[in-house]
Chains A and B, each alone.
Chain A
Amino acid sequence: MASDRTVRILVGTRKGTYIVTGDTARRKWKVGPVAHEGYEIYHVVADPRHPGDLYAAVNSAFWGPQVQRSQNWGKSWKEMMTPLTPPRKDREGMFNDADPTTAVPRPLNNLWHIEPGRASEPETVYLGADPHLLFRSPDRGASWEAIDWVNQNPARKEWGPGAGGACLHTILLDPRDPRRLYIGMSAVGTFRSDDGGRSWKPTNKGVLAPFLPNKHPETGQCVHHVAADGADPDTFYRQDHGGMYVSHDRMEKWTRIGKPLGDDFGFCVASPPSAPGRAYFVRLDGMARVTGEGHFQVHEWNDRTKRWRTLVSPTAFPGHFGVQREGIATDRLDPAGIYVGTTTGQLFVSPDAGKRWQLVPFQFPGIHSVSAAGPAAE
């Protein structure tokens, strides 16, 4: 609704889903409703085509994964159809977590990312899962079709997992062209399809794979996350195991931008629509996987000036914070809100594109994912 000025932060944690509600000032927040207590929520996202609709990637070491949908901003949830892996005869070559060198059939593991489709396809939803699986629902999660090029690819036996698993964690849709979409998988890299998912092309040129003998292979990079520029659908920002990158040509080639920061390791990146050419990264120590300087920090890349800016005062939030691949989000307001959730349960908010920062006064369980839902800039 155009009159709804509510801003919601959707927080997926190690122990459930938390909906955090405020208004466009983004200074006061109320925590709740809470759902999926005891489940690992890898991603919660709003469907902007259907106000009130949320999707959650609900995982459980006990009972397996579930796709769930709410149609009332998280007050109640319903288990939807959860897609499965292909039949046994087609599953040779999938990785076994316990012994990655042994190719054995594997069931559907954790769900990682849910991407509502374009405005032009209001019923379509995409889902990325472990082990390296991509699905598309034509009916908002009531049924799923497998994207066979990914799910049945003979090269799968060469596709290795990252530390988080064989996760397909990034799905990006070109808003102008219903045939073009992008995916990112650990530790396989990024791919682009120009024909609606029937065929894909590796798009990792220029991205370093420091953990392989060949440092610049066609695939095998451990992409951590990719964000499309808030305004230019041909430009992407990439946080990879091998550094921070930008591409201006639909991922045809990547240019490393993170070197001025020293260690440019991290997991997450976001770019808001109100600030074209700006991308926000949380740089982590490559070994410890926490903010290395001893305090919370976010770095802003300005793609026009080709310069970095550090956003948070070094004295504001001392400590070592981990942030996962879905751990940063921006909203659609101007100035953009920036939201960062940590593995130790802090939720940081900036209401003004990084000038000021506050902590939401609530101790969450460890945070896997943060996304924002709310009005666009007027």
Chain B
Amino acid sequence: MLKVHLDSWLREFGPRGNEEIEAASVALLLDELERRYPRLRFKIRDERGELRRYVRVFVDGVDVSASTGVATPLTGAQNIDILHSIAGG
């Protein structure tokens, strides 16, 4: 079971604490998260299914956003962090 931790700002749309989800990839994990919390739809991913530009997904501490992205397999993973990147002004 994966332990999913969301950015405090994202908690406006989703779970207030950690969420436990079983999923084989980042895309499938986000599918399940959005099923449980419909307001998260199109916040983390756009309508093409791609991660938004300033969203970062970490798998066991490794940022996969710009590499394998939503296709990242989660076999053997334990912790997922979904955060917003340092940007803005």
Contact = CB atoms under 8 A, between A and B. Distances in A.
Nearest to A38: B9
B54 A64 contact: no
A107 B45 CA distance: 10
A20 interface: no
A213 B52 CA distance: 37
Main secondary structure of the interface of A (DSSP, over half): loop
B55 interface: yes
B82 to A, nearest CB: 11
Indicate the member of B13, B42, B43, B44 with the most A CB atoms within 10 Å: B42
A84 B87 contact: no
A208 to B, nearest CB: 35
Nearest to B40: A63
Main secondary structure of the interface of B (DSSP, over half): loop
A61 B46 contact: no
Contact of B52 (A38, A63, A84, A85): A63
A107 B87 CA distance: 20
A108 interface: yes
Interface in A41-93: 61-64, 79, 82, 84-85, 88
Contacts of A108: 46-47
Interface residues of A, number: 13
Contact of A62 (B39, B50, B54): B54
B8 to A, nearest CB: 12
Given A61-B88, A62-B9, A62-B84, A107 B39 contact: no
A79 B47 contact: no
Interface string B60-89: 000000000000000000000000110110
Given A61-B53, A107-B48, A82 B42 contact: yes
A79 to B, nearest CB: 7
Nearest to A105: B48
Given A82-B42, A84-B42, A62 B52 contact: yes
A108 B39 CA distance: 17
Contact of B43 (A38, A61, A64, A85): A64
Nearest to B46: A107
Given A62-B9, A64-B42, A107 B47 contact: yes
Contacts of B13: 63
B46 A63 contact: no
Nearest to A85: B47
7 smallest beta-carbon distances between A and B, as pairs: A107-B46, A84-B47, A63-B43, A62-B84, A62-B54, A107-B47, A61-B54
8 contacts: A62-B84, A63-B84, A64-B52, A79-B39, A88-B48, A107-B46, A107-B47, A107-B48
Given A62-B85, A105-B48, A108-B47, 18 more contacts: A61-B87, A61-B88, A62-B52, A62-B55, A62-B87, A62-B88, A63-B9, A63-B10, A63-B44, A63-B52, A64-B46, A64-B52, A82-B42, A84-B42, A85-B47, A88-B48, A107-B46, A107-B50
Interface of B: 9-10, 13, 39, 42-44, 46-48, 50, 52-55, 84-85, 87-88
